[in-house]
Amino acid sequence: MFGGIKYEDLICVKLAGYILNGLLVSVICKPVFVSRGFALFLLAAHLSLLTVFAHYRWCRHEGGLFSLLHSRIIQMKLRTFPLKQFNSHDSNFRSIRMEHIATTMFVGNFIGIVCARSLHYQFYSWYFYSLPYLLWRTPFPTWLRLILFATVECCWNIYPSNIYSSALLLGVHLIILGGLWNASPEYPYEHDTNYKSSNSKKKKGN
């Protein structure tokens, strides 16, 4: 405290014009905004969203996140204690597509943006370059993608920020995140002849 004034209050007053993501909560109930409980809630939401996306989207073709981790642990054990009967296991390694890597990194970063307690104007540089890519990963029509992109840009160009720009930005972020969740999971590996042949057989059977 400084002369009876709490440090959190100084931060909120000094950065009030710069806060976007949590401004609505800050105005409605400032004690909640600066509370440890709210920070832990956002952290839990952040970790939960990353886990859900990793399990049901990014690692779907491996049987989920936990199945992937289990297989990697087995591989580490085999490298530490090599056995002759498992020598053929190395032939199963596959190259990950660059597009899948970019999608995983950009979506993971975007989830962090959505769950941030406060976004200041310089934070826009953290993800603005990935917005077109993320929007075109969603199943939305092109006109809606353009509207969402323009809305995000408009919200970041309003200074000082207000309740409406803060709520609108959060709403658009949630819409984009929902679109990314509803997007078809992409196949992560390159040059998988077995996967292609199985798909072709299914199409012929249908």
Q: Distance between CA 51 and CA 111 in Å, rounded?
A: 11
The pLDDT of residue 2: 35
Between 193 and 162, whose confidence is greater?
Answer: 162
Between 141 and 66, whose confidence is greater?
Answer: 141
The pLDDT of residue 48: 94
Helix (H) or strand (E) holding 57: none
Looking from the CA of 155 toward its CB, the CA atoms found within 13 Å total 27
The pLDDT of residue 122: 83
Q: Distance between CA 124 and CA 166 in Å, rounded?
A: 13
DSSP state letters, 130-193: GHHHHHTTSS--HHHHHHHHHHHHHHHT-SS--HHHHHHHHHHHHHHHHHHHHSPPPP-BSS-H
The pLDDT of residue 163: 82
Whether the pLDDT of residue 144 is over 80: the answer is yes
For the whole prediction, is pTM greater than 0.85? no
Rg (C-alpha) for the chain, rounded Å, is: 22
Whether the pLDDT of residue 28 is over 80: the answer is no
CB 193 within 8 A of CB 150: no
For the stretch 6-22, pLDDT in tens is 444 434 444 444 455 65
For the stretch 60-110, pLDDT in tens is 666 666 666 656 666 665 666 554 444 444 445 668 788 888 999 999 999
Q: Which of 60-69, 123-132, 133-142, 164-173 has the highest average model confidence (pLDDT)?
A: 133-142
